[in-house]
Amino acid sequence: MSSTTQYRITHQTRYRYAAEVVHSHQLLHLVPRPTPYQQCLEFALQISPAPTHRRDAIDAFGNPVTRVEFQSPHRELLVRTDMQVEVHPRPSVPPEDSHGWERVADNLAYHGDWPSRANLDSCRFRHESAYVRVKRAFTDFGAACFAPGRPVLSCASDLMRTLHRELRYAPGETDVSTPLMEVLEKRHGVCQDFAHLMIACLRSRGLAARYVSGYLRVRPPETKPGAAAPLIGGGASHAWVAVYSPPFGWIELDPTNDVWVGTEHVAVAWGRDFGDVSPLHGIILGGGSHKLSVNVTVEPVTVG
């Protein structure tokens, strides 16, 4: 899709607890962040039970966040967002015109000089994080993609294609606690695993990569011969990767679908990994076990 598109998006999360939650704090990443390629035109947040306290803020990565506190006992938590987002096409970027990957990695490394050769924001996404380790196994996995002197964006695009080919999309077979080495060994996972593994391969070579969470429009499969396969990862939050690619800046790639991110993706938040951008993340007192259900719908809007 190449033209500007608007989407009506609904994201509903429901927790049912085995016992009463007597006190709870929740951090919500649910408001799509403004970028040069998208604007959130409308947004409504419904929370039941009503929180005792609510505060809207911006986190350390520039994402809109909502902090809520519940002081009344409850057995169920329902959080629903309804939004309309406009997404614009991105300019075409020739991968072969990006800088060589060794040059990019060298500029991101610490040299003791000032100012830094790369901007400090990029350096935040170069190191290990809670869900992304830097290991030789990740360097080796992508070795064929990183020939000496090759442009960084060409390398990243090939790495995306390799991941898409080598990993099987398997909902329910992993969760956020599954170690990334296990994902690599068993070669299956969901979108957050694809994204984390691609980030690990890039950071293990000294490159900067960030985790992007958001939504994906999934179109019905085409019946015409030779038509592209439908995108996978809808019905819930989706995840992809942004790679620091001078001189173009951050370029977003979706390894789950082997596509460059365009007007079928809506970004909500980005950070070092899933832990920085989880849609709902909280601390509760009580509750016992719980059942979680999530439903996301992304529908195009006819404008004019």
Q: What is the pLDDT of residue 1?
A: 45
Give every CB contact of residue 297 below 8 A, 6+ residues apart in sequence: 9, 10
Nearest to 201 by CA among 245, 162, 258: 162
Residue 303's pLDDT band (cuts 50, 70, 90): low
Quote the pLDDT of residue 225: 54
Contacts of 19 (CB under 8 A, 6+ apart): 75, 286, 287, 288
Show the domains of the chain with their CATH numbers: 5-88+279-301 (2.60.40.2250), 95-261 (3.10.620.30)
- As a whole number of angstroms, the distance between CA 269 and CA 286 comes to 29
Summarised one tens digit per residue, pLDDT across range 128-157 is 999 999 999 999 999 999 999 999 999 999
Look-up: residue for tokens 């695993």? 193
Beta bridge partners of 14: 78, 293
Q: Does 230 or 139 have the greater pLDDT score?
A: 139
pLDDT attached to residue 3: 83
Check residue 226 and give its pLDDT.
54
Tokens read off for 297: 């719908």
Quote the pLDDT of residue 33: 94
Phi, psi of 250 (to 5 degrees): -90, 125
Whether 234 has a pLDDT exceeding 50, the answer reads yes
Phi and psi dihedrals of 7, rounded to 5? -125, 140
- Which pLDDT score is estimated for 266? 97
pLDDT tens sequence across 33-91: 999 999 999 999 999 999 999 999 999 999 999 999 999 999 999 999 999 999 999 99
For 252-272, the pLDDT digits (tens) are: 999 999 999 999 999 999 999
The number of CA neighbours under 13 Å toward the Cβ of 94 is: 2
**Per-residue model confidence (pLDDT) at position 109:** 86
pLDDT at 219: 75
User: Confidence band (pLDDT; 50, 70, 90) for 230?
Assistant: confident
Mean pLDDT in residue range 218-233: 68
Which range (175-179, 190-194, 265-269) has the least confidence?
175-179
Percent of the chain's residues with pLDDT above 90: 83
Mean pLDDT of 98-114: 86
Helix residue ranges per DSSP H, the chain: 101-108, 120-123, 136-141, 152-166, 180-186, 191-203, 274-277
Across 1-27, average pLDDT: 92
Task: Give the number of other Cβ atoms within 10 Å of residue 27's Cβ.
Answer: 16
Long-range contacts of 62-66 (CB under 8 A, 24+ apart): 62/33, 63/29, 63/33, 63/268, 63/269, 63/270, 63/271, 63/277, 64/29, 64/31, 64/33, 64/269, 65/27, 65/28, 65/29, 65/31, 66/27, 66/28, 66/30, 66/31
Q: How confident is the model at residue 194 (pLDDT cuts 50, 70, 90)?
A: very high
